[in-house]
């Protein structure tokens, strides 16, 4: 991994969805699904599914800021999930599906705040409910959650929920996509 790579941590509902979207962006080297923002150490998927651990399903994006900026990642984030629904994305409901940006430093916090007030607020007429918090401990999700869409693209959830997000990404951000995933 290059020394110039940076890391962003976001949650926009199911991590299978957000992982699949961000894996396709040029400049993104790796996406890791996991959990953050809760009170339980080393949570499992079963723990966070109750909604009682406080964790959100999130992804960590390892990206090259010379090819894609944090601000550009956030633009894709705003347009590929609904940041106006509290603790819900589509049929997925619970605090684990909340919209959240976990910033890694003051610069990311400032960029995210500007993006919420600017880009996101211009895209939606309803108030933005995305949580903006400093990154607590990030826990990597179980191996079967990693690269989920690429390994299970024919599964019903993938076809019904993730495929439309990928189609929207291809339509709106064709110029930002990798040649292959």
- For each successive 10 residues of the chain (181 residues), what is the average pLDDT? 85 96 98 97 96 96 97 97 94 95 98 96 95 98 98 95 96 93 61
Distance CA 107, CA 132 (A): 13
- pLDDT given for residue 1 in this prediction: 45
- pLDDT given for residue 131 in this prediction: 97
- pLDDT given for residue 179 in this prediction: 87
Q: Is residue 17 among the annotated active site residues?
A: no
- pLDDT given for residue 181 in this prediction: 61
Catalytic residue among 14, 17, 49, 158: 14
Does domain 6-176 fall under CATH 3.50.50.60? My reply is no
Distance CA 35, CA 56 (A): 6
C-alpha distances out from residue 165 to 43, 79, 94, Å = 28, 9, 20
Say which residues have a Cβ less than 8 Å from residue 107's Cβ, sequence separation at least 6: none
């Amino acid at each position: 991994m290059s020394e110039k790579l940076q890391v962003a941590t976001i949650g926009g509902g199911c991590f299978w969805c957000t992982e699949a979207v961000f894996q396709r962006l040029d400049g993104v080297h790796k996406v890791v699904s996991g959990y953050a923002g809760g009170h339980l150490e080393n949570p499992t998927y079963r723990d966070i599914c109750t909604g009682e651990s406080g964790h959100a399903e999130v992804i960590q994006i390892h990206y090259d800021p010379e090819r894609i900026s944090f601000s550009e990642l956030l633009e894709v984030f705003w347009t590929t999930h609904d940041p106006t629904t509290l603790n819900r994305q589509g049929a997925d409901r619970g605090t684990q599906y909340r919209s959240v940006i976990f910033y890694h430093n003051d610069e990311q916090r400032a960029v995210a705040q500007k993006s919420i007030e600017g880009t996101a607020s211009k895209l939606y007429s309803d108030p933005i409910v995305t949580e903006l918090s400093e990154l607590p401990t990030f826990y990597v999700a179980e191996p079967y959650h990693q690269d989920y869409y690429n390994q299970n693209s024919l599964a019903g959830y993938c076809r019904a929920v993730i495929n439309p997000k990928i189609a929207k990404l291809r339509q709106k951000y064709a110029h930002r996509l990798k040649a292959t995933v």
